[in-house]
């Protein structure tokens, strides 16, 4: 309302202020998987708290062929991580109220976390608190450079145990060289690992222990001709 125009005009957010949001929504809508997710009703949602109590195994597959852009995977992964984190907090609050103890541990295994940088920002804030809520993270990485500096620093402060398998990038060892050297291990020990062996750096109450162990051999399954045809 102005002196020249005493009649007020109702207006909302200017379009140029939300162009970025609109562009991102359009990007998500172009992906059939995400569009289907947005269109679903909540009736069939999985109750993560109940699933954790029942010790269920939940697999969330995000295949490269279903996502043409990294942003979509990053957003979906962030959504699921937040949902899992909230479920662990709700479960811990319920357990503490009823029996005053930490709930049974839930293990969250994440493959190729380097593909979701936004998700890492959430994770770095939860690493230090995860044990309190009965949540254990396990990440598979080619090297520790797959984590941001902030996430790696937070991870190191969370009593993390590391496993380096034969053939791993030597940069993974170099990032932990100081801890390994105290235990008497050097880079050559990792480079000379035999197949199906691993070098571990295990966190304990007094610091770290390091050792080399044998891993299970390659799993060989007997698959019938009919099953092979179905797999193909």
- DSSP per residue over 144-157, as a string? GGGS-HHHHHHHHT
pLDDT at residue 8 above 70? no
Residues 145 and 219 in one domain: no
Cα–Cα distances (Å) from 174 to 124, 152, 164, 220, in that order, read: 22, 14, 11, 33
Residues 195 and 144 in one domain: no
Domain that holds residue 152: 46-159
Residues 128 and 232 in one domain: no
- Which of 101, 136, 159 terminates a domain? The answer is 159
| Between 41 and 181, residue with greater pLDDT | 181
What sections of 100-158 are H helices per DSSP?
117-126, 149-156
Residues 65 and 134 in one domain: yes
Residues 177 and 122 in one domain: no
Residues 76 and 153 in one domain: yes
Would residue 24 count as lying in a domain? no
> How do residues 137-178 score in pLDDT, each as one tens digit?
888 887 777 788 888 888 877 778 899 988 888 888 888 898
Residues 123 and 166 in one domain: no
Q: Are the C-beta atoms of residues 122 and 86 closer than 8 Å to each other?
A: no
Residues 57 and 146 in one domain: yes
Report the pLDDT averaged over residues 35-59: 83
pLDDT at residue 21 above 50? yes
> How do residues 170-224 score in pLDDT, each as one tens digit?
888 888 898 899 999 999 999 999 888 999 999 888 888 999 999 887 777 665 6
- Where do we find the tokens 């043409």? 68
> How do residues 73-86 score in pLDDT, each as one tens digit?
888 888 888 899 99
- Number of domains comprising the chain: 2
What residues contact residue 92 under an 8 Å CB cut-off, 6+ apart?
102, 103, 132, 133, 134
Residues 94 and 105 in one domain: yes
Would residue 98 count as lying in a domain? yes
| Between 140 and 30, residue with greater pLDDT | 140
**Burial class (CB within 10 angstroms; exposed 0-12, middle 13-18, buried 19+) of 71:** middle
- Which of 103, 129, 159 terminates a domain? The answer is 159
What pLDDT does residue 187 have? 93
pLDDT at residue 12 above 70? no
Residues 126 and 214 in one domain: no
């Amino acid at each position: 309302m102005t002196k020249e125009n005493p009649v007020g005009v109702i207006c909302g957010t200017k379009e140029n202020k939300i162009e970025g949001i609109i562009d991102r929504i359009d990007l998500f809508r172009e992906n059939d998987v995400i569009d289907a997710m947005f269109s679903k009703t909540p009736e069939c949602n999985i109750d993560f708290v109940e699933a954790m109590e029942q010790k269920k195994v939940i697999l969330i597959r995000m295949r490269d062929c279903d996502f043409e852009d990294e942003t979509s995977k990053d957003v979906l992964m962030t959504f699921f991580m937040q949902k899992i984190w909230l479920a662990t907090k709700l479960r811990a609050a319920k357990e503490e109220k009823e029996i005053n103890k930490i709930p049974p541990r839930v293990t969250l295994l994440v493959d190729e976390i380097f593909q979701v940088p936004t998700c890492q920002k959430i994770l770095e804030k939860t690493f230090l608190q995860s044990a309190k809520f009965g949540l254990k993270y396990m990440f598979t990485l080619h090297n520790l450079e797959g984590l941001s500096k902030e996430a790696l620093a937070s991870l190191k402060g969370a009593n993390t145990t590391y496993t380096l398998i034969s053939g791993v990038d030597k940069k993974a060892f170099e990032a932990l060289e100081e801890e390994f050297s105290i235990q008497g291990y050097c880079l050559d020990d990792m480079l000379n690992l035999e197949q199906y062996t691993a070098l571990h750096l295990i966190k304990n109450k007094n610091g770290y222990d390091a050792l080399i162990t044998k891993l299970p051999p390659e799993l060989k399954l007997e698959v019938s001709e009919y099953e092979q045809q179905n797999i193909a």
